[in-house]
Structure 1
């Protein structure tokens, strides 16, 4: 799968089925050739993932990616913190 294709997929938290938001960036260790994680823009609909009315960015470690499907990426996003504070 191409990175450009991954950016089009919805990110879904398997804990509660909530759509987190689109991928903003990928954290890749080019020296080791491994994926370190996803930076996701968390959307604000009512109460957002982080308990406020505003969205934020979150880092999802690659180990928390459960499954990459045709339409979605399933992640275990419990205990994930916002990068925006």
Structure 2
């Protein structure tokens, strides 16, 4: 079992091209079913989630390939615009 606080300390990396997407800033949980639906990563240019105009990345749980001791590997297509939902 892994804690959500442990997830927030891991770097998220796309296995398709090795892109470092950043650290998890938030987690969306489905309370009815008791499972994680998606993870949220601050968009590029944001500092501590406070400054910047870019949108956050929302990555569905189905796109997570493996959770390691230091990283979370996600499988996203080459075009991140098609694979990631955005939230303002």
Aligned pairs for 1:38-77 (under 5 A) are 38-44=39-45, 55-77=54-76
Residue 19, structure 1, aligned to residue 43, structure 2: no
* Contiguous gaps of at least 5 residues in structure 2: 46-52
Going from structure 1 to structure 2, the CA distance change for 1:31 and 1:84 (only over 3 Å counts) comes to: closer
The secondary structure found in structure 2 opposite 1:4 is: helix
Partner of 2:48: none
Q: How many equivalent residue pairs?
A: 76
Q: Distance in 1 between matches of 2:34 and 2:57?
A: 22
Q: Which has a greater percent of helix?
A: 2
Question: What is the TM-score of this pair, normalised by structure 2?
Answer: 0.75
Question: What is the TM-score of this pair, normalised by structure 1?
Answer: 0.77
**CA offsets, 1:38-67, max 9 Å, x none?**
1112335xxxxxxxxx75311100000000
Superposition CA RMSD, Å: 1.8
Q: Work out whether residues 37 and 60 of structure 1, in 8 Å CA contact, stay in contact via their aligned partners in 2.
A: yes
The secondary structure found in structure 2 opposite 1:42 is: coil
